[in-house]
Amino acid sequence: MLTSDKFHDECGVVAIFSHPEAEKLAYLGLHALQHRGQESAGIATSDGLTSRMHKAMGLVADIFTEEVLSKIPGTLAIGHTRYSTAGDSALLNAQPILVQSNKGTIAIAHNGNLVNALRVRARLESQGSIFQANSDTEVIVHLIALSREQTLPEAIGDALRQVEGAFSLVMMSLDRIIAARDPRGFRPLAMGRIPAPKGQTRDTIVFASETCAFDLIGASYERDVKPGEIVVVGPEGVSSHFYSSNRPQSSCIFEHVYFSRPDSVVFERAVQSSREELGRQLAREAPVEADVVVPVPDSGVTAAVGYAAESGIPFRFGLIRNHYVGRTFIEPSQSVRDFGVKLKLNPVRSLLEGKRVVLIDDSIVRGTTSKKIVRMIRSAGAREVHMRISCPPTISPCYYGVDTPSKNQLIAANKSIEEIRDYIGADSLAYLSLSGLKRACGEGGKTSYCSACYTGNYPTEIIDVEEILPASARR
């Protein structure tokens, strides 16, 4: 059964068309997208005749050894990396999904969440469909197989018209790569190209959630897959189809706030510029007299650079992050206060002692990390700690593919800003305004964003959750 907590997953996707070592490019692409999901990863390949796949739990670099990659050679590949809250069945839900269907071989990898998967699945099950796991992506595979349309792109369009929500998809048949995006363009999906080497005629066409994947494999960014578009890349070349009429664009603003890498271009905008502008805007909206601006690494770094530049207060790395923290650590039996956070972050006493500190982070979710970090900065001798958050209070869960806890665990949904300040133990606390956030991320013109996590106004119906939860538990 799908349950509401299965909706929360974060993913990255990549696809390679026509390269003698497509599996290796997919592997490198996934490596660059590792921040989008660290639980499982997989690659499916085709050499034109045979499809192969390997997926497992863990990090990309650990799963894909030289030996594993040598077993899945191909000229076409798609890859997926995933973090999900799904428990035991996590490997079963890992992607890509590879099936043999009446439309031939289909492999699919999905970033985003459908909001009507339960309802569609119930309909399909009543017609006799059998599901292997509980990911919403499997619903799309069934709809493609059941479509009466003759060609694969038409069947995909038919399937995608029946689902609602967020989906950036890469798919592979034996000889084609197909990329598609939902009509509102919630999650990013970029297309790039590696020019054919001398003597060869065909360029390699690539797709990825973020352009930082292109940088690693030497591809140049060409354009985004547009909301409502299906791009088919095959032996005949590249073609574009629109399966859906235009809907208002609702690209996820949290990609710019936190989720994407700052070296990526997402929704045709450099994440770095958005994030630095978030910090500048925050300094204009919520100034404070202080001696140093300190980021919570890594999520607060770029906004802190902006805050420091705008305010004229010096930027300092007052917290140092240990990048080599795995999933579990053995804790001494006499437990250490804030052990989890201390494993990851340590304050620099010589920088903080006696100082009035502006502490910058991108968001407060449950508030537990912020509380520990503020305590840590104080214990390193800071005189004052002023917390500044580079987005508005997070008051509503995301149903479109960003992992967020339920509303009753979101501190800002349940406490006032003053109560949060008191809870985290800061001398002052301020968040960026919604209008400041949108301005910093370049809203206007072609771009409009989904900011449901800050407003509770969802651009779609949330059909599945409405069906799972009793009315009293909604919103």
**Distance separating alpha carbons of residues 424 and 447, to the nearest angstrom:** 35
Strands 356-361 and 292-295: parallel
Residue with Cβ nearer ligand AMP (403 or 443): 403
Residue 474 DSSP label: -
Number of DSSP helices (H) and strands (E) in the chain, helices first: 18, 23
Q: Which stretch binds ligand AMP (CB under 6 A): 181-189, 317-325, 374-382, 402-410?
A: 402-410
Question: Which position among 47, 149, 285, 403 is part of the footprint of ligand AMP (CB under 6 A)?
Answer: 403
Burial of 199 (0-12, 13-18, 19+ CB in 10 A): exposed
In whole angstroms, how far apart are CA 228 and each of 187, 292, 309, 321, 329?
12, 46, 39, 40, 44
CA neighbor of 375 nearest in space, from 441, 424, 310: 424
Question: Which position among 34, 368, 406, 447 is part of the footprint of ligand AMP (CB under 6 A)?
Answer: 368
Q: Which stretch binds ligand AMP (CB under 6 A): 124-132, 158-166, 366-374, 456-464?
A: 366-374
Residue with Cβ nearer ligand AMP (46 or 370): 370
DSSP 181-215: E-TT--S--EEEEEPPPTT--PPEEEEESSTHHHH
Residue with Cβ nearer ligand AMP (75 or 274): 274
Question: Which position among 264, 274, 369, 460 is part of the footprint of ligand AMP (CB under 6 A)?
Answer: 369
CA neighbor of 329 nearest in space, from 337, 340, 315, 317: 340
**Distance separating alpha carbons of residues 435 and 375, to the nearest angstrom:** 31
**Distance separating alpha carbons of residues 158 and 81, to the nearest angstrom:** 26
Residue with Cβ nearer ligand AMP (152 or 359): 359
Q: How far is the CB of 418 from ligand AMP (least distance, A)?
A: 17
Q: How far is the CB of 221 from ligand AMP (least distance, A)?
A: 25
**Distance separating alpha carbons of residues 404 and 453, to the nearest angstrom:** 9
Q: How far is the CB of 375 from ligand AMP (least distance, A)?
A: 12
In whole angstroms, how far apart are CA 273 and each of 45, 48, 103, 223, 403?
36, 41, 44, 19, 24
**C-alpha R_g of the chain:** 23
Q: Which stretch binds ligand AMP (CB under 6 A): 41-49, 277-285, 368-376, 461-469?
A: 368-376
Residue nearest to ligand AMP (CB): 369
Total residues binding ligand AMP (CB under 6 A): 16
370: contact with ligand AMP by CB under 6 A: yes
Site string for ligand AMP, 246-275 (x = CB under 6 A): ------------x-----------------
Strands 292-295 and 269-270: unpaired
Residue with Cβ nearer ligand AMP (361 or 464): 361
Site string for ligand AMP, 55-94 (x = CB under 6 A): ----------------------------------------
Residue with Cβ nearer ligand AMP (259 or 315): 259
362: contact with ligand AMP by CB under 6 A: yes
390: contact with ligand AMP by CB under 6 A: no
Strands 76-84 and 97-101: unpaired
Q: How far is the CB of 162 from ligand AMP (least distance, A)?
A: 28
Per residue, the 3-state secondary structure of 27-55, as one string, reads HHHHHHCHHHCCCEEEEEEECCCCEEEEE
Residues of span 280-339 touching ligand AMP by CB under 6 A: 296, 299
Catalytic annotation on 453? no
The residues that touch ligand AMP, with contacts defined as CB under 6 A, are: 258, 296, 299, 361-370, 402-404
Give the residue numbers annotated as catalytic, written as ranges: 11
